[in-house]
Chains A and B, each alone.
Chain A
Amino acid sequence: QKEVEQDPGPLSVPEGAIVSLNCTYSNSAFQYFMWYRQYSRKGPELLMYTYSSGNKEDGRFTAQVDKSSKYISLFIRDSQPSDSATYLCAMRGGSEKLVFGKGTKLTVNP
């Protein structure tokens, strides 16, 4: 079993839709959870950074962490064509090593 599982999609939605992305993980030592956005041929860009369980909101983005279920989510409200990218979940425990999911490719259609 991989440490972090993420459905690679692809996911295609109309503009304005609410997008839900998620990851599951197996390592209970993970405490820090991140979502990165990666455009084609670019490096990952940090979107959300959360510690332990709970919700965090930043503009149109909401990150949720449920440590009891080992499940994290990213919600994008009022999705825009510019949100079209690959979204990567990443997490770590006490070490500095980030463990990434495979990424979900999202397309928002005008």
Chain B
Amino acid sequence: DAGVTQSPTHLIKTRGQQVTLRCSPKSGHDTVSWYQQALGQGPQFIFQYYEEEERQRGNFPDRFSGHQFPNYSSELNVNALLLGDSALYLCASSPGQGAGYTFGSGTRLTVV
């Protein structure tokens, strides 16, 4: 049973560019959340998607946007990249509300 799958694993982008990260949730999971983890820090909640809608959002600017598809997979888009956006981006899925989250291995984004 595949867990949460994220792609790509690593990415290098130039300041000002745009990036799209992808996530396939664990089988049977319909809720997807995205987190940003800076080096030496705990993950920070970006937003959560359920039934193709953004259900909750953390304290991140509008440059961060997302989408969930009918098959529950999700994308995270970041526009106008800043050096400070360099981090590990984690996708987590769960089988509905109130359950534990399964995390993927993340996409390491470096902005130069």
Interface residues of chain B, those whose CB is within 8 Å of chain A, are: 4, 31, 33, 35, 40-45, 48, 55-56, 58, 90, 92, 97-98, 100-106, 108
Contact = CB atoms under 8 A, between A and B. Distances in A.
Interface residues of A, number: 24
A42 to B, nearest CB: 5
A2 to B, nearest CB: 10
Contacts, number: 56
Interface in A1-18: 4, 6, 8
B41 A102 contact: yes
A88 interface: yes
Interface of A: 4, 6, 8, 32, 34, 36, 41-46, 49, 88, 90, 95-103
Given A42-B106, A46-B100, 14 more contacts: A6-B42, A43-B103, A45-B103, A49-B100, A88-B43, A96-B55, A97-B45, A98-B35, A98-B92, A100-B42, A101-B42, A103-B40, A103-B41, A103-B42
A46 B92 CA distance: 11
